[in-house]
Amino acid sequence: MVLLNCRIRNFRILLDENIQFDENLTVISGPNGSGKTSILEAIYFASCGRSFRSRNIQHLLMFSRKWFRVEVRMDNHYLDARYKLPEKQKEIFLNGEKEKLSVVSTAFPFFVFNQRSLDVVKGGRKNAYLFFNKVLMRLFSGYIRSLSAYRIALNNKRLLLKKMAGNDMIKAWNCVLEEQRGKLTKQRIWLISVLNTLLPEDVEIQYLPSQPGKALDSFLTVEREKQIVLAGSHLDRYRLLRQGKDVREYGSSGQQKRLFFDVITAVGHLFHQQRGIRPVLLLDDFDSEFDKANVVRNLDRVMGQFQVVVTTTDHQRFFSFPQELVQLKSEEKGRVE
């Protein structure tokens, strides 16, 4: 997969932009507020129908406009994502045919690296949990099915606990939960063990399933007392370690950022292995917490293996790499030079 160019219309600050990409490195440079992140966001939206910074798609629509459109051309595919009011309808066309979001979002490995994704390393348990879920969802459609079956059963079980329903009814949902738990655990173990082989020597991810080896039914008495669910796949945890130490507790900001970059890189390699597709890394404000030596070193590690698009306020920091340079200006809000 090679990202060739994109056309973005009425998307946030971007009125109508055409952007060409280099097959290895594209540097999008401009002052704050010039629309750099919006470009990455638009590409990401076309690849999965979601934004990485807003839940509400309407926020992506340029103020006072009624539709936006993002067209992404790759060497062998053409994505065309559209959104319009008043229907609030989003549609993605793949090579001219309307396609399901679930198909599109598992087909194109665009990975985002930004300030917020650092929460996977820095933030609470839930962040890493959701991140690895997303990775698995993009690798296997079966994982999405197991996860939604699990969630439905979990909600039903919670309702029954609140209603103080009888043991048998709750056990029936535990039965569904156990079945999906088995599948989810297996896929999570697989993912983490493969990622660990792809990570640098000193980095390790630990997967800690909730209450391993204990049947869900064995918590039933206490669960009914407290009316909350005490065990199951939704309580699984991950730890990120460098040199055996938890990076959330001991890492500096720069170290946390580097570790997350290691993880993203490993995930990229995994997609490459599994699918034979070279992923695209969308690195937002990539240089912001790295010193210059680290920018060069980290980029060097992925150059050639992935297609990389970085945004920066200072493109000089990337001068040592051959690149396509896209310069945005603040006065002309989002205009590509």
8 binds ligand ADP (CB under 6 A): no
> How many of the other CB atoms lie within 10 Å of CB of 54?
13
Complete DSSP assignment for 8-50: EEEETTEEEEEEE--SSEEEEE--TTSSHHHHHHHHHHHHHS-
Nearer to ligand ADP, 51 or 105 (CB): 51
The closest alpha carbon to 241, from 222, 262, 227, 225, belongs to 262
Q: 82: which strand partners?
A: 69, 91
Question: Do strands 280-283 and 14-20 pair parallel, antiparallel, or not at all (unpaired)?
Answer: unpaired
Q: Which of 25, 30, 1 is nearest to 299 (CA)?
A: 25
Which of 57/152 has CB closer to ligand ADP?
Answer: 57
At closest approach, how far in Å is the CB of 70 from ligand ADP? 14
Residue 33 binding ligand ADP, by CB under 6 A: yes
Considering only 38, 180, 233, 265, the residue that binds ligand ADP (CB under 6 A) is 38
Least separation in angstroms between residue 18's CB and ligand ADP is 17
Task: Provide the minimum distance between the beta carbon of 58 and Mg ion in the complex, in angstroms, as a whole number.
Answer: 20
**Which of 10, 180 has the CB closer to ligand ADP?**
10
Q: Is 12 in the site for ligand ADP (CB under 6 A)?
A: yes
Residues 54-83 that bind ligand ADP (CB under 6 A): 59, 61-63
Q: Nearest distance from residue 231's CB to Mg ion, in Å?
A: 41
CB-facing half-sphere around the CA of 127: CA atoms within 13 A: 13
DSSP 109: -
Among 1, 25, 35, 71, binds ligand ADP (CB under 6 A): 35
HSE toward the beta carbon, residue 184, CA cutoff 13 A: 30
Q: Are strands 307-312 and 280-283 parallel, antiparallel or unpaired?
A: parallel
| Count of residues interacting with ligand ADP (CB under 6 A) | 14
Of 236, 254, 243, give the one whose Cα is nearest residue 199. Answer: 243
Residue selected from 9, 36, 69, 188 as contacting ligand ADP according to rule CB under 6 A: 36
- Which among 30-38, 98-106, 146-154, 205-213 is the span making contact with Mg ion, rule CB under 5 A? 30-38
- Out of 26, 29, 34, 37, name the contact with Mg ion by CB under 5 A: 37
Residue 312 interacts, among Mg ion, ligand ADP, none and using kind-specific CB cut-offs from 5 to 8 Å, with none
Pick one of ligand ADP, Mg ion, none as the site partner of residue 126 (Cβ within 5 to 8 A by kind): none
Give the residue closest to Mg ion by C-beta: 37
**Sequence-ordered alpha helix ranges (H) in the chain:** 36-48, 101-107, 119-122, 125-139, 141-162, 167-198, 220-226, 247-250, 253-275, 292-302
Residues that bind ligand ADP in the complex, under the rule CB under 6 A: 12-13, 30, 32-38, 59, 61-63
Residues that bind Mg ion in the complex, under the rule CB under 5 A: 36-37
